[in-house]
Amino acid sequence: MPDPNPMILAVTMGDACGIGPEIVLKACMACAAQPHPARLLVYGDPGLLQRQADALALPVQITTLTDPSELATMNTSAPSRLQIPVIACSDLPLDLPIGQVDARAGHAAHAAIVRASHDAIAGHVAAVVTAPIHKEALHAAGVQHPGHTEILAELAGVRDVRMMLANDELRTILVTIHVSLREAIEGITYPAVLETLLIAHDGLKRLGIAAPRIAVAGLNPHAGEGGLMGREEIEIIAPAIAAARAQGIDASGPWPGDTIFMRARGFREFDLVVAMYHDQGLIPVKYLGLDQGVNVTVGLPFVRTSVDHGTAFDIAGRGIADHRSLLAAIEMAIQVARPIPS
């Protein structure tokens, strides 16, 4: 029996020139094909989504809404086409070039993120699930943030947010995110590592892990080799781990970065690995495959998940985009948005 009050998830369209619209449409169809605990509400461009559905011969009818409350009275009686509700955030032109960077697409993607985030902060939706955006298109549209994480942090008025990448085999969270490697090294500070451990512990609890086990990767080769290859482990990372342990967090390390992910994945010794910088943490997760990977922003006042891949301009509009990562992000959003077990 369907839930009379299903959880509402905001799903943003992503960059209109990439695979975002396609995978959003496919994910909506997949979720509608079976009993589902949530109702999806798309934020984006209704006209573009309908044109994309028609071009791909998807049996979809876009219904434009102005507010999430209108879902309760939405007519879903059409027998041959799935009714997909869309909050109109933009009105893109017919000549928008698919597979190319375009400032108009960047502006539209940003508008959808802003509106969905505001609705999440207001409690109108239970979580925000985002399709991929393109950083160059955002920049061309005048948005200076390098990615979703920084945009969402500003919208929510918070600073201490972290990116967590997860799949069925491995989870990792980053101390530094979208900065150069030189800036990342400078960003490895005692407060940053400790705050990451606190955020990671809370995030794992929200995933239903009662007693999280957290491993911390070192910054330098061999975790510094006792100071021979760098002193960040001795002077910064180890003291932060000790402080987290003093607060009851099961954290250990710093461990060599070239083996700790194997221990977490293969031997299941840990529930999550804290990585010091972007590629250290993301390469191991993405190497396992993009189809099931999920990006979770931890530290926001609302739940946000996303795919762990990009806009894939090279295959945009061809009907061959894989929507499984978006489905995984939807399932993760449902899991995290549920009340924490007492």
Residue-wise pLDDT tens digits, 174-223: 999 889 999 999 999 999 999 999 999 998 998 889 999 999 999 999 99
Helices (H) and strands (E) in the chain, counts: 12, 12
d(CA 24, CA 298): 23
Burial profile 187-218: b = 16 or more Cβ within 10 angstroms, e = fewer: bbeeebbbbbbbbbbebbebbeeeebbbbbbb
Average pLDDT of the chain is 92
Segment 101-118 shows an average pLDDT of 97
Tokens 């512990």 appear where? Answer: 201
How much is the CA Rg of the chain, to the nearest whole Å?
A: 21
| DSSP code, position 61 | E
Q: Does the pLDDT value for residue 326 go beyond 90?
A: yes
Q: Which pLDDT band holds residue 4 (cuts at 50, 70, 90)? A: low
Q: Mind giving me the DSSP string for 90-105?
A: ----TTPPTTS--HHH
Segment 221-250 shows an average pLDDT of 97
- Residue 61 backbone phi and psi in degrees, to 5: -125, 120
d(CA 197, CA 218): 14
Q: Domain 168-288's class?
A: alpha beta
pLDDT at 3: 55
pLDDT at 340: 53
Q: Which pLDDT band holds residue 339 (cuts at 50, 70, 90)? A: low
Residue-wise pLDDT tens digits, 144-184: 888 898 999 999 999 889 999 988 889 999 999 889 999 99
Q: Mind giving me the DSSP string for 212-245?
A: -EEEEE-SSGGGGGGGTT-SHIIIIIHHHHHHHH
112 within 8 A of 40, measured Cβ to Cβ: no
How long a stretch of residues is the chain?
342
28 within 8 A of 59, measured Cβ to Cβ: no
Same fold, 1-157+300-342 and 168-288: yes
pLDDT at 272: 96
What are the boundaries of each domain within the chain? Answer: 1-157+300-342, 168-288
Q: Give 181's strand partners.
A: none
pLDDT at 80: 73
pLDDT at 184: 96
Which tokens go with 208? 């239903």
> What proportion of the chain, given as a percentage, has pLDDT over 90?
80
pLDDT at 147: 85
Q: Does the pLDDT value for residue 104 go beyond 70?
A: yes
pLDDT at 342: 43
Strands (E), 193-307: 213-217, 250-255, 272-275, 294-298, 303-307
Terminus-to-terminus CA distance in the chain, angstroms?
Answer: 27
Tokens 């985009």 appear where? Answer: 321
Run of H or E residues at 172: strand 171-174
Which tokens go with 163? 């990116």
pLDDT at 1: 40
CA distances from 179 to 109, 147, 150, 188, 284 (A): 22, 11, 11, 12, 19
Tokens 């590592």 appear where? Answer: 193
| CATH architecture of the domain with range 1-157+300-342 | 3-Layer(aba) Sandwich (3.40)
d(CA 204, CA 298): 10
Segment 307-318 shows an average pLDDT of 93
pLDDT at 46: 97
Give which of 303, 306, 307 is closest to 334, Cα–Cα. 303
Task: Tell me how far the alpha carbon of residue 193 is from its chain's centroid.
Answer: 21
